Amino acid sequence: MKVYTAIYGPANAVERTAALREMGVSGVFTFEGPHDVFAPLTLASTVGDMDLLTNVAIAFPRNPIHLAHQANDLQLLSSGRFTLGLGTQIRPQIEKRFGVEFGRPTARMGELVAAVRAIFDCWNTGTRLDFRGEYYRHTLMTPTFNPGPNPFGPPPIFVGALGPRMTRTAAEVADGLLVMPFNSARYLRERVLPAVWEGLAVGGRDPRTFTILPEVIVAVGDTDEEQAAADAATRKLLGFYGSTPAYRPVLELHGWGDLQTDLNALSKRGRWQDMARLIDDDILETIAARGKPAQVAADIRDRVGGISDRVCFYQPYAPSDRTMGELVGYLTGDR
The tally of CA atoms less than 13 A away on the side-chain side of residue 111 is 15
CA 94 to chain centre: 17
Q: What is the pLDDT of residues 188-234, one digit of tens each?
A: 999 999 999 999 999 999 999 999 999 999 999 999 999 999 999 99
Which pLDDT score is estimated for 122? Answer: 98
From the list 205, 198, 117, the residue with the least C-alpha distance to 158 is 117
Contact 129, 65 (CB under 8 A): no
Which uninterrupted H or E stretch holds 236?
helix 224-242
- In angstroms, the Cα distances linking 276 to 74, 231, 240 are 38, 10, 8
Section 60-86 average pLDDT:
97
User: Considering the chain, what is the average pLDDT of its residues?
Assistant: 96
CA 24 to chain centre: 20
pLDDT at 331 over 90: yes
Please name the residues in contact with 82: beta carbons below 8 A apart, sequence gap of 6 or more.
Answer: 41, 45, 51, 52, 53, 71, 74, 75, 155
Which pLDDT score is estimated for 48? Answer: 86
Contact 162, 242 (CB under 8 A): no
Q: What is the pLDDT of residues 91-130, one digit of tens each?
A: 888 999 999 989 999 999 999 999 999 999 999 999 999 9
Other C-beta atoms closer than 10 Å to the C-beta of 312 total 24
Section 232-257 average pLDDT:
96
pLDDT at 330 over 80: yes
Which pLDDT score is estimated for 335? Answer: 62
Where along the chain do its domains lie? 2-220+291-332
Which pLDDT score is estimated for 334? Answer: 67
* Domain 2-220+291-332 homologous superfamily, CATH: Luciferase-like domain (3.20.20.30)
Contact 135, 116 (CB under 8 A): no
d(CA 320, CA 106): 39
What is the secondary structure of 78-131 as a DSSP string?
A: TTS-EEEEEE---HHIIIIII----SSHHHHHHHHHHHHHHHHHHHHH-----E
Which pLDDT score is estimated for 179? Answer: 97
Q: What's the predicted TM-score (pTM) here?
A: 0.95
